[in-house]
Structures are given as C-alpha cells and as structure tokens.
Chains A and B, each alone.
Chain A
Amino acid sequence: MNQPASAYFIEERHDPNETHTLSVLVQNEPGVLARVIGLFSGRGYNIESLTVSETESQKHLSRITIVTTGTPMVIEQIKHQLDRMIPVYRVVDMTLTKRSIERELAMVKVRGQGEHRVEALRLADAFRARVIDATTESFVFEITGNTDKINQFIDLMRPIGLVEVSRTGVAAIGRGPEGM
C-alpha cells in the first residue's frame, strides 16, 4: 500500500479511491446521527449516500447505511473511527463481504405530452418502474434497484421531461442466513 508523502499531504495522495458500503448498527438515541455525520465532515470523509432508520424498536437499534469513497487506508480509518463511537455496536463493510445486496428507491417525476408519454411508459416498463401518480401531462414513477440502475433510468428520463427526483439512498443487507 502506498503511503502519503507526508502527513501534510494526505489530501494529495494518489492512491486510487474505492467506493464502499458500510452498515452501521447503532443505539438509537438523540444525537447519534449527528455524531456519525459530524465524524465525516470533521475528518473530511465523503458521504455519497446515507440511509438511516430504526430497525429494532424494542432494542432501540437503528441501522445506518453509508456509501463512502476513499483510499483503502482512509476507508479503514472510517471504519475504526465509527467503531470507537460509544453508541455504535458494529460496523460491517458490505463491499468487503462481497455478499451484499444493495437497493435504493427513487420517485421520478416526468412531464410531457404525446410521444414523450408513450416513451416514458415504455422505458418504465423495461425498468420495472411503477406509475404511482399520473396527470394528463405528468407521471411519477417509483423504481427500486441498485444505484446504477436508478441512475440509468433517470438519465433516460431527462430528455423526455424529467422534473425532479427523490431518492432514499442505499440500503444494504448480506446474503445468506446470517445477520450482521
């Protein structure tokens, strides 16, 4: 692994960046999300996507899924830094397990008439997107899939008359019978 030339030049290092998806199990208490986000902004780490919701309400556990980019050394730091927070139970690097499923949900609003409407519906069908709202001049599609698929769908909708998009961010889970 390459070392940065100096502690002062950490920003300028040329190691290739990698994208990793981290699942973080936390105690659901006030401020816990602020702690996680503060860690990323305070230490200059990237957040590409962040999803959080309580997953076990009796135990007050929440699951945070973070997609981040960085050099391998930075990714390792991020995991350790998350893990040492008091309310964090576990950090799992879903990318390293190579056995994870990632999904995102997006709602995509498209406006258009005539041929454009037909084309939008045809593409939606191909992507298995559902129509969840319609007017005479617009649709809202609901689409689920991995990030690439959603990006692709949005790109295709752009020339047709894309108005806006709302995305949930990535949720991830491991394959097989075991939990994290």
Chain B
Amino acid sequence: MTEKSHDPNQMTGAAMIVRALIDHGVTDIFGYPGGAVLPIYDEIFQQSDVQHILVRHEQGAGHAAEGYARSTGKPGVVLVTSGPGATNMVTPLTDALMDSIPLVCITGQVPTHLIGNDAFQECDTVGITRPCTKHNWLVRDVNDLAKVLHEAFYVATSGRPGPVLVDVPKDVQFATGTYHPPRKSDVHISYSPRVKGDAAQIRKAVALLANAKRPVIYSGGGVINSGPEASKLLRELVEVTGFPITSTLMGLGAYPASGKNWLGMLGMHGTYEANMTMHDCDVMLCVGARFDDRITGRVDAFSPGSKKIHIDIDPSSINKNIRVDVPIIGDCGNILGDILQVFKAEARKPDIKQWWQQIAQWRARNSLFYRKNNDIILPQHAIQRLFELTRGKDTYITTEVGQHQMWAAQFFGFEEPHRWMTSGGLGTMGYGLPAAVGVQVAHPDSLVIDIAGDASVQMTIQEMSTAVQYELPIKIFILNNQYMGMVRQWQQLLHGNRLSHSYSEALPDFVKLAEAYGCVGIQALKPADLDGAIKEMIAVKRPVIFDCRVAALENCFPMIPSGKAHNEMLLPEQANDEATATAFAGGKALV
C-alpha cells in the first residue's frame, strides 16, 4: 500500500486529465466550470503548465478552441461541465466536424451510479454528441482514463482531423488509478488512417496532368490541415506545371492571393474566371476538397468534359457527389510531394498558352466589380481598405456568416495558410468572435480581426468580456448593414422581396456596447472616415468593436444560384430584375 502511494503514476482521474494535457503539449484550454468538473478545476488551480481561458458561454469555448486549432495546427482543447455545459458544445463540435478541425472536448458527467436516473444536470452526452464528433467515449473506470485521453488526442489530430469528446463521470475524476504516458497501443487497432498515396494512381495522375490542355488545380481545407509543408508543395506544383489554381472557402491562403496563377475562390460566390475554368477544364486536380454543393452547383453540369483527379485522406469523400477518374487516398502533403517528384522526373511543363488566353478573357469580365460611392461605404470597399491597411502586418482574419463573410473571402487577399478562420461547412453565425479570442490566445502579438455582421456578432458578443479579462486585443470589424444581409438577399432574389424578419431591428449602439465591456468603440459612417478609423483600430492595443456603417441593400455577387451550373453564374452588372428572375426561377426550394 505504502509502496503504491509512492508510485508517481498513481493519481486521481482529475489529475490524470491535467497530466495528459501536459503530456500532449497543451498549453491553453478553453472552458467553463460546473459541478461535474469541479475536481478537474481543482487540479487546474494547483498547477501552472496549462493556462485556462474562462469564456462566457460554452459555445464560445468551442469556437475559441477551433480558432486556436486552425491558426496553430495544434488541437484545441475544451473543458465543460455536464448537462447544459455539454449541450452548449453541440454547435462548435458540429462546426469542427464539418470543417475537419481537431478538437478535444472533455465533459464532466454525473457520477456513474446516477447515470440514467435523470440526475441533476445529467444528459446523454455521448448519445447527443455521437453524430457530431469523429469519436467519443464515456469513461466508467479510472484505469481506462489515460488510454482514452491519449487515444482521443490521436484520433482528433490524425487522418482527417475532427472533434472528439471524452465524458468523465465525477466519481471517476475523484477515484485513484494508474496513469501512463502516451503509447502506441492506446489506439484502436481498427483505426489506421492512410497517409501515403498509391504509386500507380500517382503515375496515372501525372500522366493526365502532363498531357492537359486546359488544366485547373482546385484546392481545399485539406491542404491547410495537412500542414505548412503541403502548402509549400502546392505552390511548387503550380510553379512547375504553370497551371491555374482556385480554392474553396476553406482553402484560402494555401496558394497566395498575389500569385500570378491565382483565379480567386470558386463556388457559389466565387469569381467568374474560377468557375468558368472549372467548367471548361479538361483535367481537374482536386487536392483536399470535397466537391460540396456550394462548390459544384448543379452536379450533372459540373465540369462535364474533364478527367478528375481527387486527393483526399478520407475515402468517403471520393465519389460522394462527383464521380472522379483517379482517386488518390492519403495525406495531401505526402501525395503532392510524390506527384511533384514523378512530374519533375518524367514530364515537362505542358504548353497551355491558349488556355491562359481564354482565362484572361474571363478575368476581363471583372466579376467582383462594384460601384463605389462617395457618401456611403460599400462593404466591398471596406474590406479592400482593411486589406490594404493591414498589408504586411502579421494578421489573422476570422469571420461570422453572411454577406460579410463572402466579401471577406473575395476581397481580402490571403498570402499564407492558417490565417483565415471561417465557418464553412456548418455556416455558424457567432463563430468569428470567439474564434478570434482563440487565435489571439495562440498569437498574442498578432493582429486578429473578426470580420463580422451586425446580426451574427450578437450571437456570441458576450465573449468580449473574455477578451477584456485576458487582455486579448481582438478587433471586431462589423460590416453593419442593419440587415441579415444574406437572408435579405435571398428573400429579394427568391421570395419577391418580402423581407420577412431579416431586418436587424433594435440594434445596440455598438460603440457604447464596446465601452460597456471595457473595450474601445469606433464608428465609421462615411467613406472619408474609413481609413483613419481603420488605422486607429489597428493602433489601439485593446479589444475594439468597430461599427462600420455600410450600404444596407448591397448584394453579394457574382452568384451561382443553387442548383445551377458554373456557367450559369449571375454577374454584378447583369443583376437587373429580369435577369435575376430568370436565373433564380424554380430555385426556391434549394438551400
């Protein structure tokens, strides 16, 4: 007995949790206390290796951890209590699952003998979160805890990354058991994600690329998730082949926006040149993207004449929406490296001068055109100014969801991966502000800006208090159009302009709100004020809420109406009433 108590690996479940975090190199976690996690909070109190950031709502903890993860490539860690603490995590877990973000969420649970009794703050956490995690565990025995925690980190960060959840009943936190450091055997033998691509498939892919007349590279969030090396290799591949490249919303920054082969983002609000290039290409190389409906539009008219190569770490992404010719399963970075090697050894840069001439014609349509105004700030202009004035700075951008998000994607040029954090798959309003908190925790000296909408920002505005508490100088740049602009746009285009509940009635005074939180409030009303106000925002070393009053009824173009093909895109200068009516005819039922 006495011998055992000297064993340094004998400890309580709560202590094991903190130990495991340290063993996995975790330095910051986001959380909110409650009855079922008090033993863990007690352990946190008695150490200083892991910093705990106290949020104001568990959803905030989840999105903050997502921002942290996306901007660092490390897993984000969340600690919340049972019942409402756990249910408040459902949105960020789902968000992380859709966007393949590694999160480890630890939840407290009522003691094992009370499970199933409808105990106070009991809920079936693993049941509720089963469909919104990559995997989850309920730990009933303290001696299983170390293994489960180590496996949780492995599952979250390997293969296609994603959120995991470990539910720990309070009696397991109190119980004493044996801890062990991470080891290989902690992982299910049934789980072994594939990293290396099949050599024969890679050869087929290179043969297609080398003989392409009208090629395009279409990259996605998988390249970012694969790590900085993958982005480097992607850039090299573009250089070596001379091919045009576009990317999904999630993939921005893998190839620099200033690069000469950059076509801009593709998809529903992508550029004309990107979508037309996709539609007319003869060889498409899809790297770490998943052909989702915002990208493909009408599936049977999606790039009808092309041979498609698809690199993805998740076999279930292959042939889900679009049949591809050469699937390659494995890690993007690894496979890009192999493709480059074979290409350099065996192929020459194909001559695609004619294709570039065609692309130049599409580019000349200037699909991101908007009419500037001297009296009213155009939202696109605001983003452009924000971009220009932060150029060369160490900047990270997060967004909420709506028109402002699309304008940010269109008009802010990303030069590096991991600089752009947005809720793509789930489209979660309220993501950006807490995500900015998480990014700033990871990068205390960088400029972190949430490009926000007046409606979205109110969903998680309480996290300003977190920013103030931890002296996180995040900038909330609200494109305030006094509408749920994206909803209003769809109502205008598809529902006879009946603006049902999309007006942001009774908006708070954002400047006063900032002051109430102890932040700095800044407002810009006129184009002439804009630059000065943005500079002021950048100069302030405290959290800022920036109320940028923009044109209320501006629409986000270009746009592929959902269910239409890439070449049926609506351009800004064509978007008169009649063209709009035809473009959207019959599309009401779509999302």
Pick the residue among A4, A9, A30, A83 that contacts B315 (CB under 8 A): A83
Q: How far is the CB of B180 from chain A (nearest CB, A)?
A: 20
In angstroms, Cα B299 to Cα A3, docked, is 7
Interface string of A1-36 (1 = CB under 8 A from B): 101111111000000000000000011001100110
Q: With A6-B299, A38-B131, A86-B191 in contact, is A31–B126 under 8 Å at CB?
A: yes
Cross-chain contact B562 with A8 (CB below 8 angstroms)? yes
Q: With A7-B292, A31-B126 in contact, is A86–B134 under 8 Å at CB?
A: yes
List the B side residues contacting A38 at CB < 8 Å: 130-131
Cross-chain contact A27 with B188 (CB below 8 angstroms)? yes
* B504: Cβ under 8 A from any A Cβ: no
List the A side residues contacting B529 at CB < 8 Å: none
Tell me the chain B residues, 71-117 only, with Cβ under 8 Å from chain A: none
Q: Can you name the residue of chain A whose Cβ is closest to the Cβ of B320?
A: A77
Cross-chain contact A80 with B138 (CB below 8 angstroms)? no
Pick the residue among A5, A73, A87 that contacts B298 (CB under 8 A): A5
In angstroms, Cα B319 to Cα A113, docked, is 58
Total CB contacts across the A-B interface at under 8 A: 72
Cross-chain contact A86 with B155 (CB below 8 angstroms)? yes
Cross-chain contact A86 with B135 (CB below 8 angstroms)? yes
List the B side residues contacting A73 at CB < 8 Å: 319, 323
Cross-chain contact A30 with B323 (CB below 8 angstroms)? no
Interface string of B486-529 (1 = CB under 8 A from A): 00000000000000000000000000000000000000000000
Tell me the chain B residues, 298-321 only, with Cβ under 8 Å from chain A: 298-300, 302, 314-316, 318-321
Cross-chain contact A6 with B135 (CB below 8 angstroms)? no
Cross-chain contact A27 with B298 (CB below 8 angstroms)? no
Cross-chain contact B300 with A34 (CB below 8 angstroms)? no
Q: How far is the CB of A37 from chain B (nearest CB, A)?
A: 10
Pick the residue among A3, A5, A8, A34 that contacts B591 (CB under 8 A): A8
In angstroms, Cα B134 to Cα A88, docked, is 13
List the B side residues contacting A89 at CB < 8 Å: 189-190
Cross-chain contact A84 with B298 (CB below 8 angstroms)? no
In angstroms, Cα B291 to Cα A3, docked, is 13
Q: Can you name the residue of chain A whose Cβ is closest to the Cβ of B564?
A: A6
Interface residues on B, range: 35 or more
* A164: Cβ under 8 A from any B Cβ: no
Q: How far is the CB of B372 from chain A (nearest CB, A)?
A: 36
Cross-chain contact B190 with A27 (CB below 8 angstroms)? yes
List the B side residues contacting A34 at CB < 8 Å: 127, 130
Interface residues on A, range: 20 to 34
Q: Can you name the residue of chain B whose Cβ is closest to the Cβ of A74?
A: B320
Cross-chain contact B298 with A80 (CB below 8 angstroms)? no
* A155: Cβ under 8 A from any B Cβ: no
In angstroms, Cα B135 to Cα A8, docked, is 28
List the B side residues contacting A42 at CB < 8 Å: 131
In angstroms, Cα B320 to Cα A34, docked, is 23
In angstroms, Cα B138 to Cα A44, docked, is 27
In angstroms, Cα B268 to Cα A78, docked, is 28
Q: With A76-B319, A86-B190 in contact, is A31–B130 under 8 Å at CB?
A: yes
Q: How far is the CB of A174 from chain B (nearest CB, A)?
A: 20
Q: Can you name the residue of chain B whose Cβ is closest to the Cβ of A85?
A: B135
* B221: Cβ under 8 A from any A Cβ: no
* A151: Cβ under 8 A from any B Cβ: no
Name, among B126, B138, B293, B321, the residue most crowded by chain A CB atoms within 10 Å (CB to CB): B321
* B473: Cβ under 8 A from any A Cβ: no
Q: With A80-B318, A84-B315, A86-B191 in contact, is A4–B299 under 8 Å at CB?
A: yes
In angstroms, Cα B318 to Cα A81, docked, is 11
Q: How far is the CB of B156 from chain A (nearest CB, A)?
A: 11
Cross-chain contact A7 with B296 (CB below 8 angstroms)? yes
Q: With A8-B293, A34-B127, A35-B130 in contact, is A3–B300 under 8 Å at CB?
A: yes
* B552: Cβ under 8 A from any A Cβ: no
Pick the residue among B188, B297, B319, B321 that contacts A87 (CB under 8 A): B188
Tell me the chain B residues, 132-164 only, with Cβ under 8 Å from chain A: 134-135, 138, 155, 160
Q: How far is the CB of A33 from chain B (nearest CB, A)?
A: 11
In angstroms, Cα B319 to Cα A26, docked, is 25
Cross-chain contact B315 with A6 (CB below 8 angstroms)? no
Cross-chain contact B293 with A86 (CB below 8 angstroms)? no
Cross-chain contact A8 with B300 (CB below 8 angstroms)? no
Q: Can you name the residue of chain A whose Cβ is closest to the Cβ of B296?
A: A7
List the B side residues contacting A1 at CB < 8 Å: 323
In angstroms, Cα B190 to Cα A83, docked, is 9
Cross-chain contact B299 with A5 (CB below 8 angstroms)? yes
Q: How far is the CB of A35 from chain B (nearest CB, A)?
A: 6
* B590: Cβ under 8 A from any A Cβ: yes
Q: With A31-B126, A81-B316, A86-B135 in contact, is A6–B298 under 8 Å at CB?
A: yes
* B322: Cβ under 8 A from any A Cβ: yes
List the A side residues contacting B190 at CB < 8 Å: 26-27, 86-89
List the B side residues contacting A3 at CB < 8 Å: 299-300, 302, 322-323
In angstroms, Cα B160 to Cα A38, docked, is 20
Q: With A38-B130, A84-B315 in contact, is A6–B188 under 8 Å at CB?
A: no
Cross-chain contact A84 with B314 (CB below 8 angstroms)? yes
In angstroms, Cα B364 to Cα A67, docked, is 54
List the A side residues contacting B298 at CB < 8 Å: 5-6
In angstroms, Cα B135 to Cα A73, docked, is 25
Cross-chain contact A7 with B191 (CB below 8 angstroms)? no
Name, among A5, A8, A85, A86, the residue most crowded by chain B CB atoms within 10 Å (CB to CB): A86
* B563: Cβ under 8 A from any A Cβ: yes
List the A side residues contacting B155 at CB < 8 Å: 86
Tell me the chain B residues, 191-241 only, with Cβ under 8 Å from chain A: 191
In angstroms, Cα B298 to Cα A89, docked, is 36
List the B side residues contacting A30 at CB < 8 Å: 138
In angstroms, Cα B320 to Cα A130, docked, is 46
In angstroms, Cα B135 to Cα A86, docked, is 7
In angstroms, Cα B268 to Cα A6, docked, is 14
Q: How far is the CB of A96 from chain B (nearest CB, A)?
A: 15
In angstroms, Cα B187 to Cα A27, docked, is 12
In angstroms, Cα B191 to Cα A110, docked, is 48
List 13 contacting pairs A-B, 8 Å CB cutoff, sorted by A.
Answer: A3-B322, A3-B323, A5-B299, A6-B300, A7-B292, A7-B293, A8-B589, A8-B591, A77-B320, A84-B314, A84-B315, A84-B316, A86-B135
Given pairs A7-B321, A8-B591, A88-B190, 8 additional interface contacts (CB within 8 A):
A3-B299, A3-B302, A4-B299, A8-B589, A31-B130, A76-B319, A77-B320, A81-B316
4 A-B pairs closest in CB distance: A80-B316, A7-B293, A89-B190, A86-B135
* B residues at A contact (CB < 8 Å): 126-127, 130-131, 134-135, 138, 155, 160, 188-191, 292-293, 296-300, 302, 314-316, 318-323, 562-563, 589-591
